[in-house]
Amino acid sequence: MAFGISDDLLGTFVPVAVYWIYSGIYVMLGDLENYRLHTKAEEKAKNVASKSTVVKGVLVQQVFQIAISLLLFTVVNDGSGVVQPQPSLLVILGQFMIGMVVIDTWQYFMHRYMHINKFLYKHIHSKHHSLVVPYAFGALYNHPLEGLILDTIGGVLSFLLSGMTPRTSIFFFSFATIKTVDDHCGLWLPGNLFHLFFSNNSAYHDIHHQLYGNKYNFSQPFFVAWDRILGTYMPYSLEKRKEGGLEARPIKKDLKMN
């Protein structure tokens, strides 16, 4: 327990709060034109959904996420009210790694299938791609069914297969949430630790959101292994734009849309 609130409730609601706090920090940072991967004009011209629509869409997804999370914790809770003892730090780190691999594997194959299947792309996944120019609080702007399949079920599997406790899940899912928001922030900020430790970052994912790259760079949110193994990796370089800011440009390979 922490301040009278169970780990189950904290594991459910803390990642939601983290999403809005971390994405809100990016909003408060302002335009930061010198570090944007797209200009404000591009964002306005290319993005179909309004920001108010995005906020509403994310909130709907989070309602489903909360409901599934509460159901999951109810099922795995033995009803004794006794908090599960935390394993050693080494075991927790192992559970983190397993959770990361599980969620990456699930999301890669489900995400890729939503691009391959024309019906699923048109009616479900295209909603997320209506944000051609990603920004932080649009990270979870998805069709509710996509949110359930990719994010919620992927999270459930990573929780169950890693064997993490509800208390560990608070930190794991908060970390995964921060990473997902950062990947969609549309900025390349100097000193960003995610860019130092992960090849899967805001520029990498930005390539996927462009028309020439939407059959590449499916991996999310942590590693790029599946893209490399299965030939869907698109390398890129960061170049300065004449009007200021940066642009992630593909290093030419076979850009044929498979």
Q: Any bridge partners for residue 249, and if so which?
A: 237
User: Is the preceding peptide bond at 221 cis, omega within 30 degrees of 0?
Assistant: yes
Nearest to 142 by CA among 234, 64, 36, 257: 64
User: pLDDT exceeding 70 applies to what percent of the chain?
Assistant: 93
pLDDT in tens, 139-150: 999 999 999 999
Indicate if the pLDDT at residue 82 is higher than 60: yes
CB 248 within 8 A of CB 37: yes
- Residue 80 has which token pair? 């004794």
Nearest to 143 by CA among 119, 166, 164, 173: 119
Indicate if the pLDDT at residue 243 is higher than 80: no
pLDDT in tens, 118-141: 999 999 999 999 999 999 999 999
Give the gyration radius of the chain's Cα atoms.
19
3-state secondary structure the chain: CECCECHHHHHHHHHHHHHHHHHHHHHHCCCCHHHECCCHHHHHHHCCCCHHHHHHHHHHHHHHHHHHHHHHHHHHCCCCCCCCCCCCHHHHHHHHHHHHHHHHHHHHHHHHHHHHCHHHHHHCHHHHHHCCCCCHHHCCCCCHHHHHHHHHHHHHHHHHHHCCCHHHHHHHHHHHHHHHHHHCCCECCCCCHHHHHCCCCHHHHHHHHCHHHCCCCCCCCCCCHHHHHHCCCCCEEEEECCCCCEEEEECCCCCCCC
Query: In the predicted model, what is the mean pLDDT of the chain?
Result: 91
Indicate if the pLDDT at residue 258 is higher than 50: no
